[in-house]
Amino acid sequence: MLTLTAMLERAERWFPEVELVERGRRSNYRELGRRARALARALVAAGLQPGGRVALALWNRIAHLEAWFGVALAGGVAHPLNLRLHPRQWAAILAQAQDRFAIVEAGLLDAWRRADAPARLFTYPDEFEALLAAAPGRDLPALGEDDGAAMGYTSGTTGEPKGVIYSHRALALHALTIALPDANNFRQRDCVLPLVPMFHANAWGWPHAATLLGARQVFAGERFDAEAVLDLLAGEQVTRAAGVPVIWQGVLDALERHPGLWPLHPELRVNLGGAPAPEALFRRFDRHGITVNMGWGMTEMTPVGAVNPLVAPDGAPGFGERRARPGRLLPWVEGRTAASGELEVRGPWVAARYVAGGEDCFTPDGWLRTGDIVEFDAGGLMRIVDRAKDLIRSGGEWISSVALENALASHPDVAEAAVIAVPHPKWQERPLALVVPRAGAAADAAAWRRHLEARFPAWQCPDEFRVIETLPRTSTGKIDKRKLREDHRAANA
């Protein structure tokens, strides 16, 4: 059976002593199984019904993994809350999800109370541990592959967050497929550290895949700053790590400030995703001898839909540009492009509906509209031209904001850049570049323009380069284009 029960039982049977690690605590798969079942029995005794939702307001901890499995083994649906959302958003999400129970970190209780949710509350760690200690001996419900096991909500970048439910089958097939050699190349002997919050689309499925294989797992807690991350990478000799580009930019900055301070495992391989990554970032990884590849997905896809298999030069021209692409669609994920160029997908772990609303995000024949305008090369490598909502229409022609951003990011004096459309009386829209210079670098708009004009026609280049201190980001680390448009379109009005 493709269930989380089978996944857990395999790890317990063959890899009972393999470690699960967080700051201040070490456990193993034997303990994970024992504690997950204790939680499951306690929740059933407390009244959790099949399909009932349990909200989890927890950082990346072993207890979060225990709760994922414990809720699922009880026949329930684990619902990690995005800890970076406002309590008002929590309240709306909790009302829609109809969570019956909640496990909430003590440090997050103020936010929880402001959400004013009716769910029965167990605080972590005290009440959580008491719940496990008092768990009765009882049988657990039989599970079906198509039963819900977890749910996630989109980050709300383009509107209010929307929820999807993941079945046991979807989570199991997703875990197996992302572990393939041409995806993340997981091995049982790996040490895995997802630098993705577990509330962000199941930490990209990495904890499930690591459990399936019995790999050692490391959890970052609530600390995702560069020095804390490097302490874990070096101290635990991590071989597989994943996170959004902005986290890795900070990690590389710290490595360059303190060469030799953190001896990393020679087989460390990093997977990037969640936002586009420029070629310049890949070259920085090269200088530190770190293997890196790119992936792509959505909350609605559990979340991974594509991974780039290119991790070493293949002798073909344009390797640098091709390895920065999101990759090739994974096995079982079908893709097609609409007349507009928008990618539509379907597959065994791709949502067919939301918990509520969002019907316009699916085609009449059941494909998910991704919102990404894409092209595929002869080898199946996908190139994202732009998000449909971020394309700039200037005088009847389209300009890719992503292409301009990646080119700007390759300038030695640019730390980060975003390009948005602003209204124009003649051309309808024109690109505006928002640039964060590197520390100590001069803000030289003329030099940035020359840099772009060497690669793009002059009409595609921004009319203005506006210097800002930092780029706003969403709760999942993506550049918040919606806020940038609101702020800077108003400034141009």
DSSP 132: H
Q: Is the pLDDT reported for residue 486 higher than 70?
A: yes
Closest to 75 measured CA to CA, from 150, 175, 171: 150
The answer to whether residues 415 and 471 touch, using CB atoms and an 8 Å cutoff, is no
Closest to 81 measured CA to CA, from 94, 70, 68: 94
User: Is domain 4-376 annotated with CATH 1.10.645.10?
Assistant: no
In 10 A of CB 333, how many CB atoms?
20
**Res. 419 pLDDT band, cuts 50 70 90:** very high
> Would you state the CATH architecture of domain 390-492?
2-Layer Sandwich (3.30)
Q: Is the pLDDT reported for residue 223 higher than 80?
A: yes
Q: Whose structure tokens read 């990393």?
A: 264
Q: Is the pLDDT reported for residue 170 higher than 90?
A: yes
pLDDT above 70: percentage of residues in the chain? 97
d(CA 242, CA 210): 13
Of the candidate ranges 134-143, 152-161, 259-268, 430-439, the one whose mean pLDDT is the lowest = 152-161
pLDDT digits (tens, 9 = 90+) for 279-318: 989 999 999 999 999 999 999 999 999 999 999 998 889 9
pLDDT digits (tens, 9 = 90+) for 337-375: 999 899 999 999 999 999 998 899 999 999 999 989 899
Which are the contacts of 491, defined by CB distance < 8 A and separation ≥ 6?
none
Closest to 145 measured CA to CA, from 178, 176, 173: 173
DSSP 360-412: GGB-TTSPEEEEEEEEE-TT--EEEEEETTT-EEETTEEE-HHHHHHHHHTST
pLDDT digits (tens, 9 = 90+) for 23-49: 999 999 999 999 999 999 999 999 999
- pLDDT at residue 393, rounded to an integer: 77
Question: What does pTM read for this prediction?
Answer: 0.84
Closest to 125 measured CA to CA, from 197, 25, 31, 30: 25
- pLDDT at residue 334, rounded to an integer: 98
- pLDDT at residue 156, rounded to an integer: 58
Of the candidate ranges 208-217, 403-412, 474-483, the one whose mean pLDDT is the lowest = 474-483
Cα torsion angle, 187, 144, 75, 58, sign = positive
d(CA 267, CA 321): 23
Q: Domain ranges in the chain? A: 4-376, 390-492
Mean pLDDT of 432-440: 93
Side-chain half-sphere CA neighbours of 490 within 13 A: 5
Q: Please give the mean pLDDT across all residues of the chain.
A: 93
DSSP 106: G
- pLDDT at residue 245, rounded to an integer: 87
Any idea of the CA torsion for 410, 414, 416, 422, to the nearest 10 degrees?
A: -100
